[in-house]
Structure 1
Amino acid sequence: MNRVRDGERQGREPYRKTVGAHLQHAARLHRIAVARKLATLGLYPGQEQVLKSLADSDSMTMGDLAQALRVRPPTASKTVGRLAAQGLVERRLAIGSGDGRLVMVALTEAGREKASSIDDLWFAAEDEMLADFDPKDVRRLRKLLRRVEMAFGPQDGSADDDEEADAE
């Protein structure tokens, strides 16, 4: 895209007019809204992703969980430790793996209960965010955001690790 930068036309803080700045601000506001809702469940941002990932499978290795979350293994391990302290997940040695160091992570019954309420929370946050949008605009926004994601290509998510660690 070849364009004249807004800064060449307007003197102060031209970055505030960029799509990236608006996207970042909208993402921050969404994250705050979700964090408030998660707090009612006693969860921090990022923890819901662990619970939902584990709810979708019987159990996972720490490596598989980190990959599913697109974070580094130490970040996943730290989050799992916090969830285990709350009694929402449990760690077990992998049976039959031949490697006594391989640890599996699974939801406890309490974790399953929390995981089942997360979808409602996410849908409520999305309903708030998109309340003034008509269905056609929602579809268009979703399509445009997918195109933005594709423009950046596959990412390993490790850039998100510091932000997640700060939130917990």
Structure 2
Amino acid sequence: MAMDKDIVHPGVKSVGWALVQASRLHRSRTGDKLSELGLFAGQEQVLQALASSGPMTMGDLAAILRVRPPTASKTVSRLSALKLVERHTEPGDARVVRVKLTKEGKRKAAAIDALWDEVETELLAGFDNKDRKRLRKLLRKAAKNLAGVTGADQTGFETDDELEDLGAEEPELAATA
């Protein structure tokens, strides 16, 4: 679809518009890379969450992913069919289902980490570490603002200072020249 060079989107000066465009392009690029691993967008988040936190209940997984439990359950079912995760009921309470990675799931999670690093490097090409940290901080603050007005859970939007207070390590940022 070709556009006339004089046509400008009305939201071009909007931060929200720029965020949506960057987000769409990031998701598209990530989706292309995930398809090379035989995965669909969204599935990688389940594998990453389990790789990071270990086995967890479906409720905890849904909360971390910020989705409703049926959405998490459907994704886990698909990943289970791919032999990347296993579900087990809790002894003594069959209503509680725990999910964990299989060996193959752990391998996929490692491949996803490498994929995310690659896309992150592409996304932030030309940014120095100060710009990267500032952008991350501003995006977390914006997300926290919207979570506050929508009533969404505000965990996971901590500032870098708050993360340091919690003992969380600074994510590795590959510097690009």
Q: Which TM-score band applies after superposition, normalised by the shorter structure?
A: 0.7 to 0.9
Shift of 1:13: 4.9
- Residue aligning to 1:110: 104
Describe how 1:1-168 pairs up with structure 2 within 5 A: 13-95=9-91, 98-154=92-148, 155-156=152-153
% same residue: 56
After superposition, the C-alpha distances for 1:47-104 in whole angstroms (9 at most, x for unaligned) are: 1110111112331111111011111000000100110110101111112xx2222211
Q: CA RMSD in A?
A: 2.0
In structure 2, C-alpha distance between the alignment counterparts of 1:149 and 1:135, rounded to whole Å = 21
In structure 2, C-alpha distance between the alignment counterparts of 1:42 and 1:127, rounded to whole Å = 22
Contact preservation (8 Å) 2:89, 2:98: yes
Shift of 1:134: 2.4
In structure 2, C-alpha distance between the alignment counterparts of 1:71 and 1:102, rounded to whole Å = 18
- Residue aligning to 2:165: none
Contact preservation (8 Å) 1:58, 1:106: yes
Shift of 1:156: 4.6
After superposition, the C-alpha distances for 1:14-57 in whole angstroms (9 at most, x for unaligned) are: 32321111110100001111111111111111111101111123
Query: Higher relative contact order by CA 8 Å / sep ≥ 6: 1 or 2?
Result: 1
Shift of 1:116: 1.4
- Structure 1 stretches of 5 or more lacking a match? 1-11, 158-168
Give the number of the structure whose residues are more often helix, by fraction: 1
Describe the shift of the 1:133–1:91 C-alpha distance in structure 2 as closer, same or farther (beyond 3 A).
same
The residue type equivalent to 1:15 in the other structure is G
Normalized against structure 1, the TM-score is what?
A: 0.79
Normalized against structure 2, the TM-score is what?
A: 0.75
Q: 3-state DSSP class of the match of 2:86?
A: strand
Q: 3-state DSSP class of the match of 2:94?
A: coil
- Structure 2 stretches of 5 or more lacking a match? 1-7, 155-177
Q: 3-state DSSP class of the match of 1:14?
A: coil
